[in-house]
Every structure is written in structure tokens, then in C-alpha cells.
Amino acid sequence: MPRILITGAAGFLGSHLCDRFIKEGFQVIGMDNLLTGSLDNIKHLFPLKEFEYYHHDVSKFVHVPGELDYILHFASPASPIDYLKMPIQTLKVGALGTHNLLGLALAKKARILVASTSEVYGDPLVHPQTEEYWGNVNPVGPRGVYDEAKRFLEAITMAYHNAHQVETRIIRIFNTYGPRMRVNDGRVLPAFFSQAIRGEGLTVFGDGSQTRSFCYVDDLVEGIYRLLMSDYAQPVNIGNPDEISIKEFGEEVLAMVSNPAAKLIYKELPVDDPKVRRPDITKAREILGWEPKISRAEGLKRTFEYFKEVVKTD
Ligand code: UDP
């Protein structure tokens, strides 16, 4: 049975990855410090002998007894609200945490996949974003703590690959959504769904003309699985190229939730908010044979079912 360490296991993506790798017949070690994650996301795994949970902050030395075949490094605050609140932890987990896990991969001769992000492209001047684009990032702006941590994560990962021949994989994740997103994480999708369900104003930042491209979590997890099993060490974009403006997105959520008390309201645009974002997924298609399968209509329907359960209306 192959053994895999998943950091950020109690988070949105980490918990879905634990589920998937258990299904694939792996022994899964989930690690988290619960800074932004929640045990609610993985409590269904606790009775399984295929699952172990370690409470640990990966910014400190990481010790895992026994053999290890794979590492997925998904620990990090990931919503703008979270990393603005926790700037130092965000920098540390992207930098020191990644260093610790690369060291562990070297010691255990494990293959490691690290989670990077479309944020490495900053407010992009090339559209859609290809992996060859170097980005337009403000290092000292509010998003710099996340963007630069992830850029460092990519740099040190390539360094371990080149200097120590560690088997490394780098995924650049574009906006992803689905069940287990935190209701109050501040990102646009949980914000809009919870506001619509409660019959409040949906807070569109700026005039809502900025765009994003939303990928359903199951599609992303499939892309991660394929990338891990591939032999490709350069960064790969994984995301859904179906681009939409935030205003139109708000209108889609309003139509789906259909609460007459809810409507769009407008708030100030945050500093350095990217104006456009859409992945070029040619590499994922050609190298991994991957493309998203779940339409936004279907993905939003499944996600609405989840938010109906977890959003408190009183
Ligand atoms: N946004 C918004 N209202 C909200 C939260 C976010 O209009 O309540 C906008 C935000 O300004 C950005 C887009 O939605 O343009 C996506 O924001 P999110 O925080 O989800 O992630 P980002 O893609 O910026 O990392």
C-alpha cells in the first residue's frame, strides 16, 4: 500500500484529496494545524485504518515515522481575507513549510507535489495565462504575502529538483469551489451563496467587471492525481477556462438560490484585485490528458446543496 502525506488535510482541498487517495488504495497521513482548516472536513475518515491524522504546523520541522512514497503540500491560508489576517503564517508555510517538506521528500525518497496558484501571475498582463508567463505581482501590496510565498515555493521546489534530483511536481491552481468551502472564508462564492441564502445583499467588489474562471473541486482533484502520477516537473495550470465576470456570477447565484430578499450591492474594490483570470490549459490537456468535465451549472447546483445545509439563517 503506497503511503502519502497530505498537508492541509483538514482544509477544503486537502480533505477532498484525502478522500480521493484513500479511494485509490493509499495509506493517507493527514497533517494540519487547524489554522484555517476544520476537523469537520475529515472526521468521517477517523475510523478508517487507512487514515492517520497528525496535528502539526509544517512551518516547524516535520517528522513522519516510517516510509513515505508521496507528499502533497496543500497547507496554507488561501483566501484573501485569511492571508491578510495571517500574513506571517502565510509567508512561513509557503517558504519554511515548503523547505521542510522538500527536505522530508529528499530524506524519504518520496515524490512531492506542491500547491502553487494562479496568484503567481498577479494582476496579469497576458490573457489567458500560460505557464510561460512570469506574472505581474506587487511584492509589497496586501496580496504580496501570498503571491511571493507561492513564487518562492515554486523556486525552492525547482531548486530541490535540480540540485537534489527530488521528484517534484508543481500545480498552479485557479479558483476552485465545491462542498466544504468555509462559509465565512471571504471568497466570492461562499460569500455570495451565504448572502443569497440569508436574503442579504451580495457584495460585488468594484463594478463587478473583473473576471474569474471557476473549477469544480472534483475536476481539480482529478488533475492533481494525474499530475502526481506524471513525470512532468514544470508547473502546470489546472483550472476551468470558462470565464465569467463577478457581476454575472452574482446574477447566476441569485437565480439559483431564488430568494427575493437578496440582491446585488456594490462595495469598494480591494487593492491589487486581478482584473482578469483564466487558465490556458493546453499543457494539462496535452501532458495529462486532463480537462474539466463539470460545468458551472452542475457544479454550482452541487455546491448550493452543501451551503443549504451549513449556512445558518437565524
Ligand atoms: N469578490 C466580490 N465580493 C466578495 C468577495 C470577492 O466581488 O464578497 C470579488 C473579488 O474582488 C475578486 C473576485 O470576487 O475580484 C474573486 O475573489 P476571491 O476572494 O474569491 O478570490 P481571488 O480570485 O481574488 O483570489
CATH assignment at residue 255: 3.90.25.10
Q: From the CB of 187, is ligand 1 less than 6 Å away?
A: yes
Indicate whether 166 and 113 sit together in one domain.
yes
Rounded-to-integer distance, Cα 98 and Cα 88, Å: 15
Indicate whether 186 and 251 sit together in one domain.
yes
Residue of 187, 271, 277, 278 to mutate, ligand 1, most atoms within 8 A of C-beta: 187
Indicate whether 128 and 246 sit together in one domain.
no
pLDDT at 313: 76
Indicate whether 208 and 122 sit together in one domain.
no
Q: From the CB of 241, is ligand 1 less than 6 Å away?
A: no
Q: Which CATH number do you get for residue 80?
A: 3.40.50.720
Indicate whether 197 and 234 sit together in one domain.
no
**Ligand 1 center from residue 21 Cα (angstroms):** 30
**Ligand 1 center from residue 167 Cα (angstroms):** 34
Indicate whether 19 and 61 sit together in one domain.
yes
Instruction: Indicate if the alpha-carbon torsion angle 137, 143, 148, 153 is positive or negative.
Output: negative
Nearest CA to ligand 1 atom 6: 188
**Ligand 1 center from residue 3 Cα (angstroms):** 36
Q: Tens digit of pLDDT per residue, the chain (314 long)?
A: 999 999 999 999 999 999 999 999 999 999 999 999 999 999 999 999 999 999 999 999 999 999 999 999 999 999 999 999 999 999 999 999 999 999 999 999 999 999 999 999 999 999 999 999 999 999 999 999 999 999 999 999 999 999 999 999 999 999 999 999 999 999 999 999 999 999 999 999 999 999 999 999 999 999 999 999 999 999 999 999 999 999 999 999 999 999 999 999 999 999 999 999 999 999 999 999 999 999 999 999 999 999 999 998 76
Q: From the CB of 195, is ligand 1 less than 6 Å away?
A: no
Nearest CA to ligand 1 atom 4: 188
Q: With CA atoms as reference, report the closest residue to 218 among 192, 179, 261.
A: 179
With respect to residue 288, please indicate whether it lies within any of the assigned structural domains. no
With respect to residue 103, please indicate whether it lies within any of the assigned structural domains. yes
For residue 81, give the C-alpha cell: 481575507
Nearest CA to ligand 1 atom 16: 188
**Ligand 1 center from residue 188 Cα (angstroms):** 5
Indicate whether 95 and 229 sit together in one domain.
yes
With respect to residue 222, please indicate whether it lies within any of the assigned structural domains. yes
Q: Is-above-0.85 flag for pTM?
A: yes
Indicate whether 93 and 231 sit together in one domain.
yes
Indicate whether 191 and 232 sit together in one domain.
no
Torsion of CA 35, 139, 239, 191, to 10 degrees: 50
With respect to residue 289, please indicate whether it lies within any of the assigned structural domains. no
Q: From the CB of 117, is ligand 1 less than 6 Å away?
A: no
pLDDT at 314: 67
Q: With CA atoms as reference, report the closest residue to 13 among 144, 175, 145.
A: 175
Model confidence pLDDT, tens digit, residues 259-312: 999 999 999 999 999 999 999 999 999 999 999 999 999 999 999 999 999 998
Rounded-to-integer distance, Cα 266 and Cα 234, Å: 40
Q: From the CB of 191, is ligand 1 less than 6 Å away?
A: yes
Q: With CA atoms as reference, report the closest residue to 77 among 195, 227, 182, 212.
A: 182
Contact assessment for residue 212 and residue 242, using Cβ atoms and an 8 Å cutoff? no
Q: From the CB of 181, is ligand 1 less than 6 Å away?
A: no
Q: From the CB of 204, is ligand 1 less than 6 Å away?
A: yes
Rounded-to-integer distance, Cα 250 and Cα 245, Å: 9
With respect to residue 223, please indicate whether it lies within any of the assigned structural domains. yes
Indicate whether 23 and 101 sit together in one domain.
yes
| DSSP string for 230-247 | S---S-EEES---EEEHH
Rounded-to-integer distance, Cα 151 and Cα 281, Å: 20
Domain extent at residue 58: 3-176+215-238
For residue 114, give the C-alpha cell: 506542491
Find the helix packing angle between 98-108 and 144-164, rounded to 10°.
20
pLDDT at 312: 82
Pairing of strands 111-117, 168-173: parallel
The count of domains in the chain is 2
Contact assessment for residue 179 and residue 185, using Cβ atoms and an 8 Å cutoff? no
Just list the catalytic residues: 146
Q: From the CB of 197, is ligand 1 less than 6 Å away?
A: no
**Ligand 1 center from residue 303 Cα (angstroms):** 17
Indicate whether 268 and 147 sit together in one domain.
no
Indicate whether 107 and 225 sit together in one domain.
yes
